[in-house]
A and B are shown apart, each in its own frame.
Chain A
Amino acid sequence: MKHRWITDRGLWLESRACTLGLKQKIEAAALPEVEAVVPGDGSLLVVLQPGQGAGPVLLDLINKAQPDASLEVLGRHHEIPVIYGGDAGPDLERVADAAGLTTSQAVELHAGAQYRVAFLGFQPGFAYLAGTPTPLQTARRSAPRARVPAGSVALGGMYTGIYPGTSPGGWLLIGRTREWVFDPLRKPPARFTPGDHVRFVPR
C-alpha cells in the first residue's frame, strides 16, 4: 500500500476496507516510533513520534496490507437505550417520511441494525457508527442547529452518531439517550473505541 503524509508526522494510508484491521495490527506490534493510529472513513493515519521515521516492521505491515482484505477486528459490545421521536428526536418524522415509512417502522429499522464504530472525530467521544440501514441514510441539515442536546442520537449521511455534549450540529435528530458518551474524568474517557459494536434499544 502506498503512503502519503499529513504533515511530516502523519503517515497516511488509503486503507479502505482493511482500515480497522490494519489499525489493530499496527497497535499490536507496539512500535516505539508510533505515537497513535487514527482511523478515518476508509483511511488510516499513523502518527509518528516527533523526529522519527517509519521503521522496517511498520513499513512491512503497510506494504503487505491489502486495502480490500477484511481483517479480523476486535471490539466490545454496547447496548444503548434510546427514547426515539418526540422532543427527544424532532427529526424522526422527516426521516421516516423520506424513507416512505411510519415513524415506528423507522425506529424498528434503526434499532434492528448492528453498528460498528468506524472512527471518532468532530468532538471528543463523538463516534461515527457505520451500519445505518440505507433507507435511513439522509442528507444533513442545510443550516446546522445552534444547540443540539447532549445524548442526541442523530443521522448524518451513512452514519449514526451520539452527541457527547451539548453543541452545534447539523445531523438529523431521531432520539436521545441518557447514557454517558464522553467524560474526561473516566478511564477510558470515551465510551466507544473504533471497532466496537453498538445496538440501540428503544425505551
Chain B
Amino acid sequence: MEGKRENDDIPQGGDTSRSLEDSRGSDTSRKDEGGSSDLSRRGFLGGTGAALVVAGAPKLGSSEPLSGGAAEQEVQAVPRTAIRVTVNGTEHRVDVEDRWTLNEFLRDQLELTGSKIGCNRGECGACTVLVDGEPMFSCSTLAVWADGRDIQTVEGLERDGAVSPLQQAFMDFNAPQCGFCTSGQLMTASALLVNNPNPTSDEVREGLVGNLCRCSNYNAIVEAVLATAGTSGSGGAQ
C-alpha cells in the first residue's frame, strides 16, 4: 500500500526502548483571569461536580468500627437486615446492607464471582441468576428482597464436580469467546430448557434475548443450547 498506513500502526523492528522521562512533568495549572462564577447545576454520572453539597447518609445509631486502616473516623452505619437465603443448595443466614444488590451479595459476600457485572443497569444480562428457578438480573434486585428465596448461580450448575450437559455443550460449541456473558447465558438457557426441553431456534433466541453478547457469538450460543435440548440431562437448573 502506498502512502501512510491506513490501519493502526505496527511496531517497526520491535522497538522496546525505554524513555525514562520525568512523568511528573509540566505544571498544567493555568492562571485564570476573572470571570463569572458560573457553577454548573447539572449532575453527571452519579456525582455532581458542582457546588451542591449533598448530605451524607442519615445517622442511624451507633457507627461501626473501621476494618483496617489507621484513621479513626467512624464510617456511618448503614441499615442492615437479617435474611435467610439458599444459594446453590446451601442456606445462608446473614446480615446484609439493605442497599446491596443481590449481585453484590453473591459476589462480594459469598465470593461467588461467576455472576458478572456488565452494566449494573439491567441492560445486558451478564448478571443473570435464577431466583426460584426464574432468570432475573441480580444487579436489579436487592439482597433483602431475596429473603426466603432459592438462588442458583453458574457455580451451582455442576453436580458432584461434573459440569452439566449444557456447560459441556457450551465448551464443545465454542459458546464462550471472551466468556464474560457466558454465566448469564448459561443461567437463562438452563431455565429455558427446564420449561421447554425441546425449543426451536426462535424460541431459544426469544428466551435468551435478555443476554447480550458483544463478541456477538450468538450463532454458537444458540447451537450449544439446541444441541443440549432433548438430551436426558437438564441444563443444570433445579
A and B: interacting chains: no
